[in-house]
C-alpha cells in the first residue's frame, strides 16, 4: 500500500475520525475517484427490506467531509433518496474495465480487467441547497487500483456494517 494512515493497534482498523484532515481513502482510491466517466450504482434498502440498486450519473468525492455525494435530476423524488432518508444507510460501487495490452490477454480471451471501489456507510438525504445522498464511509473495498490482483478491504467508520 502506498499510503500511511493511523491504525488502531487493538483492532487493526483505521483510526480516523470524520472531519479530520486525513482521508479514509488511500491515495490510489482518491486518484481513481477523480477519474472521469466511471460507472456508478447506488444501493439502498427498501421499506420492505429488499435491496434496491440503481445507476447514477452524478456523484463526486467530497474532500471536505471525506464522503461521497450522489445527486441527479428530480433526485428527491426517487426511491433511492426516500430509502436513504428512511434507513440512513447506502452503498455505492464505482467501477470500470481496464483494457489490457495485447501481450497480457488472459486465457479464455479476456482482454480487460475490472477495477473499482465499493463504499458502504451512513447515508444522509440532503435537500438543501440541492437534493443529494451523502454517504459517509464505514466500509471500503477496492480492487485492481494498484495492480491486477490487488484487493483492499477495511472498516473505516464509527460502526462495523454487517
Residues 6+ apart with CB under 8 A from 106: 100, 113
The pTM score is: 0.82
Q: Is residue 130 assigned to a domain? A: yes
CATH number reported for the structural domain that contains residue 101 in this entry: 2.30.110.10
Q: What is the mean pLDDT of residues 30-48?
A: 95
Find where cell 436513504 sits. Answer: 84
Q: Are 102 and 117 in contact (CB under 8 A)?
A: no
In a domain, 31, yes or no: no
Residue tagged 472498516 (cell numbers) = 155
In 3D space, the residue among 31, 35, 60, 51 whose CA is nearest the CA of residue 130 turns out to be 60
- Per-residue pLDDT band for 7 (boundaries 50, 70, 90) equals very low
- Angstrom distance (rounded) from CA 63 to CA 47: 31
Residue 123: inside a domain = yes
Q: Is residue 11 part of a domain?
A: no
With respect to residue 16, please indicate whether it lies within any of the assigned structural domains.
Answer: no
Residue 4 has pLDDT above 60, yes or no: no
pLDDT digits (tens, 9 = 90+) for 107-159: 766 678 899 999 999 999 999 999 999 999 999 999 999 887 889 999 997 65
Q: How confident is the model at residue 5 (pLDDT cuts 50, 70, 90)?
A: very low
For residue 105, pLDDT beyond 70: no
Cβ–Cβ < 8 Å for 40, 56: yes
Structural domain contains residue 48:
yes
Which domain range does residue 107 map to? 39-154
Any idea of the CA torsion for 94, 99, 105, 106, to the nearest 10 degrees? 10
DSSP state, residue 138: E
The count of structural domains within the chain is 1
Q: Which residue has the cell 480516523?
A: 16
5 within some domain:
no
Amino acid at each position: 500500500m502506498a499510503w500511511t494512515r493511523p491504525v488502531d493497534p487493538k483492532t487493526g482498523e483505521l483510526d480516523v475520525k470524520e472531519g479530520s484532515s486525513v482521508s479514509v481513502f488511500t491515495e490510489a482510491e482518491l486518484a481513481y475517484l477523480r477519474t472521469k466517466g466511471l460507472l456508478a450504482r447506488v444501493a439502498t434498502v427498501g421499506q420492505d427490506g429488499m435491496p434496491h440498486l440503481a445507476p447514477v450519473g452524478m456523484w463526486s468525492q467530497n474532500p471536505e467531509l471525506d464522503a461521497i455525494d450522489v445527486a441527479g435530476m428530480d433526485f428527491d423524488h426517487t426511491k433511492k433518496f426516500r430509502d436513504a432518508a428512511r434507513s440512513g444507510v447506502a452503498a455505492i460501487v464505482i467501477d470500470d474495465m481496464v483494457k489490457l495490452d495485447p501481450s497480457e490477454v488472459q486465457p479464455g480471451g479476456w482482454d480487460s480487467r475490472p477495477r473499482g471501489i465499493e463504499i458502504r456507510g451512513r447515508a444522509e438525504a440532503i435537500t438543501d441547497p440541492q437534493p443529494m445522498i451523502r454517504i459517509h464511509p464505514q466500509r471500503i473495498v477496492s480492487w485492481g487500483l494498484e495492480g491486477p490482483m490487488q484487493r483492499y478491504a477495511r472498516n473505516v467508520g464509527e460502526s462495523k456494517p454487517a
